[in-house]
Amino acid sequence: MTDPRLYSPDGRPRARLLGIAPPGETGAWNAITDVPGVEVGYRTVISGDGPLRVGAGPARTGVTAILPRGRDGVGRPCAAGWFSLNGNGEMTGTAWIDEVGQLSMPITISNTHAIGPCHAGVVEWINRAHPRLAREWLLPVCAETWDGYLNDINGGHITSAMVAETLAAARNEPLPEGSVGGGTGMNCYGFKGGSGTASRRVPFGSASFTVGVFVQANFGARHELTIAGRRVGAELDSANPMETTAWQGTASAPGGAGSVIVIVATDAPLDALQCKAMARRVPLGLARTGTTGSLFSGDLFLAFSTASDRLSDTGFPKGEPTAESLVVTTRLPWNRMDALYTAVVEAVEESVLNALIVNADMTGRDGHHSPALPHDRLREVLAR
């Protein structure tokens, strides 16, 4: 059996197999699913070729579903916090996270114009899987990045039924990466981008905690790309049609346009402020890969902790309050957070590398082409 830290489930090499990885000890799968209980599902849509016909394709898109406590734990809160580096994007449900510091709903990630079907699909699925929970109100987290260079983004290829099926299929296991799920039609640093993941183990006395990261990478200009501390983008002489092809009916997109969504999970006992502090460290990991945070990139990050598994205290109250109604939680001391911050930065950097490396060329609507990061050429450049 191949080592999932080195190989994707389909046998393709990950960053570590190429000798490219930030420091730190990974979890068993080097994935967000190393955090106990976290389940992830994908639905990938690839169909059609040739000229764009809205509604008919070509389609290069999908949806990713992340369930912090798995399918059976929906409604049980996790401490949570989020951070926006640049607001040219969307992540629903964040006003409620700001209000109560908790996340109890699934997270879905897809393309920019699929926020509606994702939101509706989560509601439909919870109505079937957790009907008692659906009697109150549902505020799922739905995030997006823009795949319109390759995909018929206005064609309605993501449906609420598809999203519900993705949630039902979520599992705790090693994850495919690259052009899968919501990352199917995405680009990163002028190469084919998409879904990437990584994890880190963090010792804490006689115990240890896990930090897992999932990235939907659709950001960065080719000249910015930095791997293992070296600016390699200009030295990788693959064509870069995304910055030269006329599209969107007028001209090429500005370098760095796109977006990036990052989800950070941990089983370390954190409160909402500490989760927000974890989310604020995400840009440091992204910066190690070269990005400077383009105005045309929506950069939104969410962190949650699964440590305190308890009933929700945000629904309609029942009966009179008693001493047993009080919520008691445990958290790490603030002066022990640095190791977790380091884990976030390292895992974010490696997740982006995996999204780029576990990938292949893709041609989408109107012949628009996205080349894969060339492994052999990258090795040559880094060897110099």
C-beta neighbour count of 75 within 10 angstroms: 19
d(CA 178, CA 224): 20
Answer whether 240's CB lies under 8 Å from 201's CB. no
Q: At what angle do helices 115-129 and 160-168 cross, to 10 degrees?
A: 50
On whether residue 279 sits in a domain, the answer given is: yes
Terminal Cα distance for the chain, rounded: 33
Q: Is the N-terminal amide bond of 58 cis, ω within 30° of 0?
A: yes
CATH of residue 90: 3.60.70.12
Encoding tokens for residue 39? 């389940």
pLDDT band at 1 (very low <50, low <70, confident <90, very high): low
Which 3 state secondary structure label does DSSP give 314?
Answer: coil
Distance of CA 7 to the CA centre of its chain: 19
The pLDDT tens digits of the residues spanning 58-68 come to: 999 999 999 99
Instruction: Name the E strands within 34-184.
Output: 39-47, 59-67, 78-86, 102-103, 107-111, 141-145
Q: Is residue 46 over pLDDT 90?
A: yes
Q: Classify residue 355 by its DSSP letter.
A: H
| The one catalytic residue among 8, 179, 199, 297 | 297
pLDDT tens per residue, range 72-102: 999 999 999 999 999 999 999 999 999 999 9
Least confident of 98-102, 142-146, 251-255, 305-309: 251-255
What residue numbers bound the domain in which 217 lies? 15-37+75-104+173-307+330-383
State the pLDDT confidence band at 332, using cuts at 50, 70 and 90.
very high
CA angle 66, 294, 140 (to 5 degrees): 25
In a domain, 248, yes or no: yes
pLDDT tops 70 at residue 250: no
Query: Is pLDDT at 248 greater than 80 in this prediction?
Result: no
Residue 112 within a domain: no
Establish if 44 belongs to a structural domain: no
Q: Is residue 80 part of a domain?
A: yes
Query: How many Å apart are CA 265 and CA 78, to the nearest integer?
Result: 10
Reported as a pLDDT band with limits 50, 70 and 90, residue 338 is very high
Identify whether 297 is a catalytic site residue: yes
The answer to whether residue 154 sits within a structural domain is no
Domain count, the chain: 1
Residue labelled with tokens 């205290």:
313
Residue of 238, 278, 272, 243 lying closest to 258 (CA atoms) = 243
Question: With pLDDT > 70 as the criterion, what percentage of the chain qualifies?
Answer: 97
**Does residue 376 carry a catalytic annotation?**
no
Average pLDDT for residues 255-280, to the nearest whole number? 96
Q: Above 80 in pLDDT, residue 243? A: no
Report pTM: 0.97
Catalytic option among 8, 179, 259, 294: 259
- Pairing label, strands 187-188, 102-103: unpaired
**Choice among 299, 305, 351, 370 that is catalytic:** 299
